[in-house]
Chains A and B, each alone.
Chain A
């Protein structure tokens, strides 16, 4: 590595990014210093172990990553709008689609959902925090640092360019030399640690921290979906950890797992990657399903249809998710038997998913549907996700897949499931739980504009891509010829893409607008909700969530209480001191050491990698010797916070 190559140079787009990054950083530093916010930042956010604040930080990071991934997407769409465009060269385009895919899945979709899970699940089960609040902070900071490490690649050293799937031997030293691919390996590895810890944390939280009376079959559907998701994380993420580690060994230490030399096996990478990768798809879709269940039930003012079937179908999907990975490479020539088996298991996933769709439809049946923005996103989900679903079944038919594979048909399919499923859910959940997080709703009128613009743009962008795929347009090409005839549909697609971009900007504007003008909520039940998170007296729950832990008697306990007019009022008698965990700066510091270690290994400066790792172990030891049992919130403080007057 030569020092003059440390920073990526020579591209106006990247210079522009450099300038904007420098300006933004300077702006933030100025703001923090001028308004004396450093202490506030440290005590309220960097050291917090409060699940709600961590959740908000997850969501803020995810929205930033959505912006980054979205800019990547629009750059690609610009390049593809017309044939033979010269806007991006091949290498640049490859870097952009690689970072787009990786960021959207790992650093946008997952943290967005995990953020919502963080905010909502402890409240939904009537808990004061998660099982391991400290570990929760470690999870967030490792994710955040992993994301940052991955993101700086485009200004320092160069981005990875072997695709988010990073197939070997393309991603090997021989064909993708330099720091780019190392960024991918280490960024994902560090973030993956956080995800695995989240998996353990929330599994134990949901199993052990539920309010009295909340049996498993009285849990809200979003909590159920989170539970199932955590189980998938726990078994899927170690596979990614190993796969990434093996490729890191191949690149940094000369091993031969996936290389051309030494009889390495490139197909092994594909298998390991998708053994994690397919469950990963369900990690980002099941919480979405859970959210839609909550929202559809809430705004239909009706109990969820087929509650148990919803749970069983989710468990089935989770089990199946580990049995279908081969469908990502039917074309590898595994033979008729293997392809037949995996075709059938893959199609079979459609069965429980179809059941869920009908259950959602019949949740609305005989309901009283209110078209609030979260509900619009949920309705949009049903309509659009079904298209993604049926094309998924088409792709599952291996013999036909030979023609769809690696084409825009596939690209369109997975955007129809990931955007109409996950992204719609993120938006729906964000709008739905916004008053829980910030004490006011996002403006509904602007919200509906965002919904329509985004949904219509989404369809204009991706629907034509099915036809481009059937017309033989492969994915990941940076340009195409005039004679191919793919020009017009690509232009249409690009227009749709920019509509989605505008919709995103309006969404951000809505956050600003609502911050300025929205009416502040006066009570905790913004949407006439059904589950415990809406039962807190104040719009934003205090840091201890519940002054008195509720006792649950049925599914949708809070809704039933309201129906029967028996919502309990808090009295002074109920107030007892509450035990809470102390804040800690260690997770942030530990993650910073991870950054040093990761950055060192990216550039193969092993001394720096070792230094960072020593720091990580140092913080582990420090924490081990720290006996901080937390503290008690006094009765007076609770009474003051809850504004109990009698």
Chain B
């Protein structure tokens, strides 16, 4: 029994993790029908997997305990080399399990290719999401507005994201709403998502794109229909127009703060059709990629680091200032 102890403890740890963690892990606590379908599939598969683990661990514990080499060892049979019945059983059962998993998987795969079932009659909101190292550009062609590094979407309405990239292969992911899809230069991929409630969710690029990858994120704000329309109208009338010059500057690798414009870059370029736009623009602007261990690159990194520290310090100061103000 002593030998099994670590496994038992381990089992207890699993259980504790599962119970405490599940309810608030973002993937298992989705805020929209797409994520909901995925969560159902995940939980369904976890059921099967738990069953498999129990069977294997049960057999393992029984066999290892019973047939360990000890004093009253019984039933030794060194030439026992197979059993057609048993082997048939463990060919057939996994086949059944695979079939049982395949059916809902394929169903969900097909269902995720379109808008969610419950809102499929609604016209989806189309947003072009373009990844540029290391920022996200969102164009709303119908509203004729564009945002950088944040998204506003209406709740209870399917959103069709048309994904592409100006450079590296990125992956567009809002875990609270549903699974991800790649954004690639010279390609357009489509992803339906929908939020069932209002709130702010984290979105990010989850596919490694180099130095600034970690902060390649954006925020998603889910609003009521009216609030969304209001925001779109205000943006259209209030925000500055996006100039080509300004947009071309966005093509340079780096991070920027949130931005808002009353026109979209789709007027002059769609990266899904023009894979080399960003590279050419960089060349035109005299940008030269730096070898990571060259002097220039090191200096640049140092500068960025200092800026970041300064920013953090300022933030802290303003926070503490705010605190004292509240007192």
Binding site for B on A (CB under 8 A): 2, 4-5, 8-10, 89-91, 94-95, 157-158, 161-163, 167-170, 173-180, 260-267, 270, 300-309, 329, 331-333, 335-336, 339-340, 343-344, 347-348, 350-351, 354-355, 357-359, 361-362, 364-371, 379, 382-383, 386-387, 390-391, 393-394, 397-403, 405-407, 452, 455-456, 459, 463-464, 467, 469-472, 474-480, 563
Contact = CB atoms under 8 A, between A and B. Distances in A.
A264 to B, nearest CB: 8
Interface in B92-117: 94-95, 98, 101-102, 105-106, 108-113
A400 B179 CA distance: 8
Nearest to B80: A366
A403 B294 contact: no
From A262, A301, A470, A475, name the one whose CB has the most chain B CB atoms within 10 angstroms.
A470
Contacts of A169: 167-169, 185
Q: Please indicate which of the listed interface residues A178, A390, A474 has the most CB atoms of chain B within 10 Å of its own CB.
A: A474
Q: Determine the interface band of chain B, counting residues with CB < 8 A from chain A.
A: 35 or more
A351 B210 contact: no
Given A2-B294, A403-B42, A170 B77 contact: no
Contacts of B57: 383, 386
B64 A379 contact: yes
Contacts of B209: 170
Interface string B146-167: 0000000000000000000001
Nearest to B278: A260
Contacts of A402: 38, 112, 178-181
Interface stretch (B5-13, B121-129, B239-247, B318-326): B5-13
Given A471-B25, A474-B206, A476-B208, A400 B41 contact: yes
Contact of A472 (B27, B167, B169, B182): B27
A207 to B, nearest CB: 25
Contacts of A383: 7, 57, 60
B231 interface: no
Interface of B: 3, 6-7, 10, 13-14, 17, 21, 24-28, 35, 37-38, 41-42, 45-46, 49, 52-53, 56-57, 59-60, 63-64, 67-69, 73, 75-83, 86-87, 90-91, 94-95, 98, 101-102, 105-106, 108-113, 133, 167-169, 171, 173, 175-176, 178-182, 184-187, 189-191, 202, 204, 206-214, 253, 275-276, 278-280, 282, 289-295, 298, 301, 305
A477 B109 contact: no
B6 A386 contact: no
Nearest to A559: B78
A340 B108 CA distance: 10
Nearest to A256: B276
Contacts of A176: 210
B41 A399 contact: yes
B68 A354 contact: no
B190 A177 contact: no
A89 B82 contact: no
Contact of A351 (B17, B98, B276): B98
A350 B48 CA distance: 13
Q: Which of A361, A367, A407 has the most CB of B within 10 A?
A: A367
B289 A476 contact: no
Contacts of B46: 394
A356 B82 CA distance: 12
A179 B291 CA distance: 8
10 contacts: A8-B293, A260-B167, A348-B98, A351-B95, A355-B94, A371-B3, A379-B64, A403-B178, A405-B179, A452-B6
B41 A329 contact: no
Contacts of B91: 309, 351, 355
Contact of A261 (B21, B68, B279): B279
B35 A403 contact: yes
Interface core residue of A4, A161, A308, A361 (most chain B CB under 10 Å):
A361
Contact of B17 (A307, A405, A463): A463
Contacts of B24: 471
A424 to B, nearest CB: 15
B45 A355 contact: no
Contacts of A370: 69
B32 to A, nearest CB: 12
